[in-house]
Amino acid sequence: MQTQNRFYQVPHCTGLGHRYPRADAQLRGTKAEGGWGVVSTQETEIHPSSDITPSNQARLWDDNDIPALQLVTDSVHQHGALAAVQLVHGGLHVANRYSRQLPLGPSHGSVNCDDPVQIKPMDLADIRAFRQWHKDAAVRAKQAGFDIVYVYAGHNMTLLQHFLLSRYNKRTDEYGGSFENRLRLFREVITDTKDAIGDTCAVAVRLAVDELLGERGLTHNAEGHDIVEALAEEPDLWDVNLSGWENDSQTSRYSEEGFQESYTAFVKSITSKPVVGVGRYTSPDTMVRVIKQGQLDLIGAARPSIADPFLPNKIDEGRIEDIRECIGCNICVASDNACMPIRCTQNPTIGEEWRRGWHPEYIPALRDPASYLIVGGGPAGLEAALGLARRGAQVIVADAASEWGGRVARESRLPGLAAWGRVRDWRLFQLQQLPNVELYLDSRLSADDILEYKIPDIALASGAIWRNDGHGRQHTEPLAFLDTANVLTPDDVLTKGTSVLSSDGPVVIYDDDRFYLASVLAELIAQAGFDVQFVTPAPVVSPWSINTLEQSRTQKRLIELGVKIVPLYALHGFQQGILDVACVYSGQVRKLPCNSLLLVTSRLPQDTLWQELSAKSNNWQDAGIQSVSRIGDCLAPGIIADAVFSGHQFARLAGEVTAPLIKREDFARV
């Protein structure tokens, strides 16, 4: 078989999986429509002893699972692409919360999730059974119509990898001990799979060649290299990457495009089989370079294919500037880790192709095109304006600031977040190409201004501001002891820089937001030479960034910068350069020297204009105003992806009397 091009969407999760097969099929089919030559599923469980509940992946436990996956292959084949399935047994990565079967692994030990469960070491009968499960799943995959079937050993999530790794495999029989013995099961399963389906299906190996653990783990210049060399010609395709997932899917805050090349480049030199690899490739020039240099045969992508499912077609058509580039924020990854359907900061239509009928490139024309005024040029405002303009509306965007982008413009100047500026840049460029859009900066509007303009439909996207009163998750009421003249918020630093901080003593950052911003500000301030203490009621720095795979790197970086971390403490008092903080469990009070207190707690919508317009609602009809809406952070503060989604949804629903129902699969039968 042959792919129609070199663009290969490697396996990635969607949070749709076996529970929402129609939504998953439509998502994958949209990728094929967008020009991806190969479109892969997420990991696909082969047996109830590999149950990763509550995560929602695909399943091939038995023949009843075939129809759901055939929806995927039919959708992919409709556009001429090849369909690939990543078979997996999770080994000690799963606790089998639904099936309640015993987790399996090479030797005694605990599962590597948080459950207080230990694995059953596999005896030879278990190994024979596992080989049969994998073979049966491969046959079912063939019946479902897949062209490529994976044998998967990566991300510290698979039984086959656990047998390869000496830190897990303590066996003394023919499946443990020496390198060749630890390789045995992997080799056998590749052979089993080829024997079962190799007449019509390609068999791919997905292998992590390095774990970034040094001598404690697999490395690309030792056993990672040796595995590829030993099996060089056995699979039909090599898909190579890093392990675990936090290394394979590093964010742009901690890595550059092509960051895996130094680890995976050797593979092509020791096999004649096609090699696919990843590295958050978004630049066509970089893609061409790795092909010409002989590092890869196929450009693998997960996150870039989510941000722009039509990336290949845009390159083929010479529309490079139209590529909606991935920003490497890992909101897509966070969706899976939080066990919810996929979402993306750049692409608000991902996961909505079936249930809402949204297409990433097409938006239906308005039945009755009207004029819209968007107040605010941040992520919500720009996305709403673009959607409305593409539907045929006349759109005016006005922003009080002297630059476009709102919070994105400010935050993208922080350490490691430059790629986030793509949220602004792509939308602004697209809007500038359209004749029915007018863009105005330095244009602060009052309610009277808006009434005077007599524009029928108004969307307020004026954003939000950070609170300076301590209100957040821990403190649900403003704190009376906080003199607002003595405390700062992220808005102060984002607009004026570190000059707002006192140079006389320590800076205390109090984080009750618990995502990325407080830690990035701590990094900025520490790099500027300040003594920084990071206080949080949470047990670790930026706990929600566990979902984006950044937490450990973030805490490590702050420690290396000399930031003093004080976890599990909340605000208690503040006076005369001393901040009192209290243990969230015992109430015991600590006193910290503090000359500048930076609060990162929660935000309030900037909805003054909404309130002023609402007070003048009796004048709307005379002014020809039909609707006034709030979108994005102005309606409810959230992450940037939420603001983009809000703007896009506003544009999609424009002109609708009632919002269409979201289609559900809860009661569907495939």
Catalytic residues: 13, 152, 155, 248
Q: Strand 578-583 and strand 202-210: pairing?
A: unpaired
Pair of tokens at residue 93: 């990565």
Q: What single-letter amino acid sits at 564?
A: K
**Rounded-to-integer distance, Cα 447 and Cα 456, Å:** 14
Q: What single-letter amino acid sits at 652?
A: R
Contact criterion met (CB below 8 Å) for 664 and 355:
yes
Pair of tokens at residue 18: 């076996």
DSSP line for 236-277: SEEEEEESSHHHHT--TTT--TTTTHHHHTTGGGG-SS-EEE
Largest CA distance in the chain: 86
**Rounded-to-integer distance, Cα 81 and Cα 154, Å:** 25
Using alpha carbons only, what angle is made at residue 611 by residues 606 and 612, rounded to the nearest 5 degrees?
110
Give CA separation, 660 vs 358, 359, 489, 654, 655, in Å. 12, 15, 40, 12, 12
**Rounded-to-integer distance, Cα 193 and Cα 132, Å:** 10
Match 């436990």 to its residue by tokens. 61
Contact criterion met (CB below 8 Å) for 348 and 379:
no
**Rounded-to-integer distance, Cα 557 and Cα 218, Å:** 24
Query: Helices (H) and strands (E) in the chain — how many of each?
Result: 21, 26
What residues have CB less than 8 Å from 21, skipping those under 6 apart? 68, 69, 71, 72, 665, 670
**Rounded-to-integer distance, Cα 576 and Cα 22, Å:** 61
Give CA separation, 49 vs 19, 46, 93, 154, 523, in Å. 18, 8, 11, 18, 43
**Rounded-to-integer distance, Cα 8 and Cα 111, Å:** 32
Pair of tokens at residue 480: 């009376």
CB atoms within 10 A of CB 330: 24
